[in-house]
Amino acid sequence: MNKTIALITAAGNGQRMNHTENKLFLKIKGMSIIQRTVQTFLKINSIERLYLTVQSQELNKMQDELKNLDGSNKLRFVIGGQTRQESILNGLEKIALDFKEVTKSVKNEMICLIHDGARPLIEKSTIQQCIEEIKTNHCGIGVAVPINDTIHMIDQNQNIINTPDRANLIAIQTPQGALFEQLLFAHRLAKANNFQATDDISVLRYAEIPAKIYFGHINNIKITLPQDRLIAERILDTMNK
């Protein structure tokens, strides 16, 4: 049976939320953003451990925030880096250290999912499907939704220079993931070559590891701006959560 590990990014800040603290502590209908995100992952029995990247000064607060969730004994905490990519590598290296005694055959089959802590409306079924896709195809996987708006490319003077066919465009979400050894190799390679990316699928592709898309749900929004909390509350009303 494949071991499955999840890694959640929680080392950001509230800059674009016009907030002085980490936005993940803000509440949506009585629960903090990070509690909602973590709670969904803890409900999936096949996930053996759940790692969170956190800011060093917020470690104690994050632990207190999550200690009463069912399954909190699965949680592990890792100090994040200056960027998302650095934080992910820190998390992967911690996982590698924790599982260093695992046999090579088991480690080669180990699955790792990476998810944004600021996407609290992720559904269990989406996470489970990602795990199955990786288990079956041994490739990278990323959750995405189709693009509904027309997208124009512009130059530095705001002139439109290209209009790609939106039928071939997607908006990437998380979870994203792959076999653990694939992710670790790709992120180490990216660091060694100073390759910068904003998501893990890009890092996998840089390492020439095949990746595919699983179409998820538009409700899986990322809480980035103040109005996103209101949108999330309305979505939760429709989901009766």
pLDDT in tens, 53-105: 999 999 999 999 999 999 999 999 999 999 999 999 999 999 999 999 888 88
Q: What is the pLDDT of residue 99?
A: 93
CA-based max dimension of the chain: 56
Classify the phi-psi angles of 138: left when phi > 0, otherwise alpha if psi is within -120 to 50, otherwise beta: left
User: What percent of the chain has pLDDT above 70?
Assistant: 95
Instruction: Tell me if 112 sits within 8 A of 92, measured CB to CB.
Output: yes
Quick: pLDDT tens for 103-140: 888 888 999 999 999 999 999 999 999 999 999 999 99
Q: What is the pLDDT of residue 121?
A: 98
Question: DSSP string covering 139-199, please?
Answer: SEEEEEEE--S---EE-TTS-EEE---GGG-EEEEEEEEEEHHHHHHHHHHHHHTT---SS
Domains: count for the chain = 1
Q: What is the pLDDT of residue 17?
A: 57
Q: CA separation (Å) from 114 to 119, 220, 238?
A: 11, 14, 26
Q: What is the pLDDT of residue 16?
A: 55
Instruction: Tell me if 204 sits within 8 A of 182, measured CB to CB.
Output: yes
Q: What is the pLDDT of residue 19?
A: 61
The parent domain of residue 76 ranges over 4-239
The span from the CA of 212 to the CA of 177, in Å, is: 10
The domain that holds 54 is classified in CATH as 3.90.550.10
Q: What is the pLDDT of residue 239?
A: 81
Quick: pLDDT tens for 172-213: 999 999 999 999 999 999 999 999 999 999 999 999 999 999
Provide the 10 A C-beta neighbour count for residue 122: 24
pTM of the full structure: 0.94
Quick: pLDDT tens for 4-35: 999 999 987 655 555 667 899 999 999 999 99
**For residue 66, which of 56, 48, 54, 80 has the smallest C-alpha distance?**
54
Pairing outcome for strands 153-154 and 160-162: antiparallel
Instruction: Tell me if 3 sits within 8 A of 48, measured CB to CB.
Output: yes
Over residues 41-45, mean pLDDT: 97
Lookup: tokens for 204 = 């996998």
Q: In angstroms, how far is CA 175 from the centroid of its own chain? A: 5
Q: What is the pLDDT of residue 15?
A: 57
Q: Mapping DSSP to helix (H, G, I), strand (E, B) and coil, where does residue 207 land?
A: coil
Quick: pLDDT tens for 214-241: 999 999 999 999 999 999 999 999 887 5
